[in-house]
Amino acid sequence: MSVQAHLGELAAKHKALEAELEDAMSHPATSDAEIAELKRKKLRIKDEMTKLSGQRTH
């Protein structure tokens, strides 16, 4: 898989997590731990995207 394709896949996952996070935050039954876990997953994806973007420019 090319770096560009991988970045596209990660961007799609990031967007899906963003939607899931917004949905979770709108429901009072969602625990703080669940919200924190979604935020951690989103951040890991963002970090990986940043890392891959840096590799692509070299």
Determine the pLDDT at residue 13.
Answer: 97
**How confident is residue 17, by pLDDT bands cut at 50, 70 and 90?**
very high
Which of 41, 35, 40 is CA-nearest to residue 22?
35
Tell me the Ramachandran region of residue 2: left when phi exceeds 0, alpha when psi lies from -120 to 50, beta otherwise: beta
Q: What percent of the chain has pLDDT over 90?
A: 84
What is the pLDDT, as a whole number, of residue 57?
Answer: 60
Cα–Cα dist 36/33, whole Å: 5
Give the model's confidence band at 1: pLDDT under 50 very low, under 70 low, under 90 confident, else very high.
Answer: confident
Helix (H, G, I), strand (E, B) or coil at 33: helix
The number of distinct structural domains making up the chain is 1
Domain range for 23? 3-56
